[in-house]
Amino acid sequence: MRRAACQVLLGNWTGSSTVPSHQLYPHQWSWDSAFIAIGLRHLSPVRAQQEVETLLAAQWGDGRVPHIVFNRAVPLDAYFPSPDFWRSSSAGAAAGAPRTTETSGVVQPPVHALAAWLVHSADPDTSARRGFLARVYPRLVAWHRYLADHRDLGGHGLAAVVHPWEPGMDNSPCWDGPLARVEPAAAGSFRRADLVHGSAADRPTDLDYRRYVRLAAEYRDHGYRDAEAPHSFAVEDPGFNALFIAAEYALARIAEALGGEAEPHRQRAAALTEALVERLWSPEAGQFLCRDLRAASGGRAARDGQGGRLVAERSAAGLLPLVAPQLPRPIVRTLLRTVSGEHYGLGTAVRLLPSYDLRGAAFDRHRYWRGPAWFNVNWLLERGLRRHGEEARADALAAEVLHAAAASGFAEYLDPYTGQGRGARGFSWTAALALDLLA
């Protein structure tokens, strides 16, 4: 299994970073690279450092880390939206987009500081000799500062996502409501490349894509400047913010290792944790929910006086705060019950955590983030279980993840009921996170 996982990572390595999959995702993706580095560190700590640093080299002047770094050797039509859609080096000039590297203009969850810390920990001597932490620390600080300064659209400290690609769970049913207000781009105004390699039943719909395109074009046409873009989609996502918290704690450890000040990072992590609980916890749902910042006032949840409205959909993103170390104990206990309750059925109805409520009206066991089980989410849950002392449950989940990764040929995601692989095979983060669990 270790050999097979290594083969996937070696095959997807391009010389300076790793593609998630040569066909479906032929460039470098931000949160993919973070998860990939976490596994790659067991194969080659130096390569894992390079993975993180290649991504961070494409950071914008305003601190954002783009969700895609394009490989200029790949033909334009291999992936949509391609560099000529994003036009980052020209349209993003005012926001400090790199001049010689083309990237997208949106971001993905900030897992990078956690990845950097874990990569360093795999071989601290080599890391110190190469000056890895000293180089990445200022970039990671600038990345977190971007999220804190430019993305607190709700005004209470949490980072908002402004496109469904940003939380990484593109077509989660949580976005159906917020997206319904977005005017779709004209049908036929673009050509999807994903359907050449992926089955249409496993991917987002054309209508979803028309809205993704509209939002991205709107952001681009406002120079990717957050103060000026209309951001007609703006959501506080518990998964994105939980990873921000975990990353801020990782940054504290990095600062300590460099002999710097860790306390400001711990303080921000604590403040984020408080805001997460205050704004996104739903005792009725027994989990965290997304907050739609653009929802019109009126309606039940809007009366909580927090601005916007909680989205009444259960997604696995709402369980990811289990990775946050300082979560209040009663909330941890509730989340632990929810994981194995009727909505997620872990250990009873299914072997891996599904991405969305098994009983939700929008549940679709094959379609991307509307039900399938994903390996990064399960890896994060395994970590969360362990953090909160649930060793036996974490061991059981790790065993299921390893079994499913091998049996599916390192699939991108799985039908949660049958374990059948969906999407790409030989998918990098699946192989990487399996390697990490094996270590």
Binding site for ligand DGY (CB under 6 A): 67, 165, 170, 194
Q: Which residue is nearest to ligand DGY (CB)?
A: 165
Which CB sits closer to ligand DGY, 31 or 281? 31
Residue 113 tokens, joined: 């500081």
Q: For the residues of 397-413, what is the DSSP string, one character each?
A: HHHHHHHHHHHTTS-SE
The closest of 33, 243, 262 to 158, measured between CA atoms, is 243
What is the arrangement of strands in the sheet containing 413-414, beginning at the earlier edge strand?
373-374, 413-414, 421-422
Residue 192 tokens, joined: 């999807």
Rounded-to-10 torsion of CA 342, 346, 351, 357: 50
Which CB sits closer to ligand DGY, 47 or 67? 67
State how far the Cα of 383 lies from the Cα of 370, in Å rounded to an integer.
Answer: 23
Closest distance of CB 272 from ligand DGY, Å: 24
Residue that has been written with the tokens 């804190």 in this structure: 148
Catalytic residue chosen out of the listed positions 32, 102, 170, 382: 170
Which CB sits closer to ligand DGY, 24 or 320? 24
For residue 236, give the 3-state DSSP assignment: strand
Closest distance of CB 286 from ligand DGY, Å: 28
The closest of 46, 39, 19 to 30, measured between CA atoms, is 19
Closest distance of CB 363 from ligand DGY, Å: 20
Catalytic residue chosen out of the listed positions 32, 51, 236, 412: 412
Q: Which residues contact 67 (CB under 8 A, 6 or more apart)?
A: 29, 30, 31, 104, 106, 107, 108, 165, 166
Closest distance of CB 25 from ligand DGY, Å: 6
Q: Which residues contact 418 (CB under 8 A, 6 or more apart)?
A: none
Catalytic residue at 170?
yes
Rama region for 157: left / alpha / beta (φ>0; ψ in -120 to 50; rest): left
CA angle, 171 then 174 then 179, to 5°:
70
Which CB sits closer to ligand DGY, 78 or 438? 78
310 alpha carbon, distance to own chain's centre: 20
Closest distance of CB 24 from ligand DGY, Å: 7
Contact 137, 258 (CB under 8 A): yes
Closest distance of CB 21 from ligand DGY, Å: 10
State how far the Cα of 90 lies from the Cα of 97, in Å rounded to an integer.
Answer: 8
Closest distance of CB 194 from ligand DGY, Å: 6
Which CB sits closer to ligand DGY, 108 or 127? 108
Which CB sits closer to ligand DGY, 369 or 379? 369
State how far the Cα of 239 lies from the Cα of 43, in Å rounded to an integer.
Answer: 28
Catalytic residue at 395?
no
Which CB sits closer to ligand DGY, 111 or 385? 111
- CB atoms under 10 Å from CB of 83, counted, come to 20
Contact 429, 413 (CB under 8 A): no
Which residues are marked as active site?
Answer: 170, 412
